[in-house]
Chains A and B, each alone.
Chain A
Amino acid sequence: MRRRWWLAAPLIVFALFLLAVGWRLSAPPDATVKSRLVGQAMPEFSLAAAVPGRAALRSADLVGGGSKLVNLFASWCVPCIAEAPVLGELKRRGVTIHGIAIRDAPADVAEFLRDHGDPYRRIGADPRSRVQMTLGSSGVPESFVVDGRGVIRYQHIGPIMPQDVPTVLAELEKAG
C-alpha cells in the first residue's frame, strides 16, 4: 500500500506543473519595466528643440513652477495617437506638459502635432534615446510626474487613456 502511493508521485508533480502553467497563463507576469528613478531628482539633461522655433527642454526647466508632466512620445508611435486627445484634455485642465520626442525628425514631429494636437509647453528632441535611457524609460509613450523641486514622483507606462486621467491628476496634485 505504501509503495503504491509513491507510484503516484510523478503524477502529482505533473499536476502541480499543470497548475503552475495554468496560473501563469491566466495571470501573466507584469512585463513593464519600471524606472528606479521615481522618488529621485530628475537626472541632468539638455535637449535641443524637437521642432524649430519651439522651446527646447533642459532638466533645469523642470525645477520650480509646481508639478508638471513630462511625456515621452514619438510621431512613429501608434499608441501616442490614442494618447494625444487625453493629453489635450489634461492641458485644458491646467496641467503643464513638456514633451520629449524620441528618435524623431523635426518635420515628422511638426506633422504629428498638427494632426493630433499640441499640448506641450516645451519639446526636446532625443534622437538617440539617450535621455530616455537616462530616465529609465523603455518605450513610448511614457510619462513622468515631476514636482516643483524637480523630483520624479510618478511614472505612467504606456498611453494615458481616459480612465487613467483621475490617477494622473491625483499624482500631479500630490506632487504639487
Chain B
Amino acid sequence: MLLVAAPAWADSGQPAAPYAYRQLADPRQEARARALMEELRCLVCQGQSIADSDAELAGDMRSLVRERIAAGENPEEVRSWLVERYGSWVSYAPVLGADTLLLYAAPVLLLLLGGLLAARRLKRRAR
C-alpha cells in the first residue's frame, strides 16, 4: 500500500528549476519551447504533457527545454536528446522507426483497404 501510494508524497519541497514556471525573455524562443513542451510526455503523470503537468520532474524538464533553446539549440535537438534516453515514448510526435512503422503505415493501409472495398462495390454497381 505504501509503495502504491508513494507518488502522493513524491514532492521534494525544493525550489523549482529556474525556467520551470518562468518564460524566456525572447517571445520567439518561448513559442518554440512551448510548442515542444506540449509534445513531451511527463514521466511521472503519464498521459499529460510537461506543459500541463505540475510534477516536479515535469518542471525540471520544462526548465531543461527552455534553457537549451535559449542556448541556441533547436527544438528537434532537444527532443532527440530526450528520446535517446527515454525512447520515443517521451515524445507525442513519435519518430519513424521499426517500432513505430505500423503506426505510420496504418493510415495508408486503411486507405488502400477502403479504396479496394469501394472499387469492388463500384464495379459491382456498374455491372
Contact = CB atoms under 8 A, between A and B. Distances in A.
A84 to B, nearest CB: 14
Interface centre among B56, B64, B85 (most CB of A within 10 A): B85
B14 A138 contact: no
A36 B9 contact: no
Contacts of B46: 31, 33
Contacts, number: 75
A97 interface: no
Place the interface of chain B in its size category. 20 to 34
Interface string A47-87: 00000000000000000000000000010111100100000
Given A105-B14, A128-B63, A133-B60, A35 B6 contact: no
A127 interface: yes
Given A129-B56, A139-B57, A76 B12 contact: yes
A33 B10 CA distance: 17
Contacts of A34: 87
Interface string A135-150: 1101110000000000
A42 interface: no
A123 interface: no
Contacts of B60: 103, 128-130, 132-133
B13 to A, nearest CB: 6
A36 B2 contact: no
Interface in B6-61: 6, 9-14, 17, 43-44, 46, 56-57, 60-61
Nearest to A128: B17
A78 B6 CA distance: 6
B104 interface: no
Interface string A13-46: 0000000000000000001011111000000000
Given A133-B60, A133-B61, A138-B43, A127 B14 contact: yes
Contacts of A132: 57, 60
6 contacts: A37-B85, A82-B2, A105-B14, A128-B17, A133-B82, A138-B57
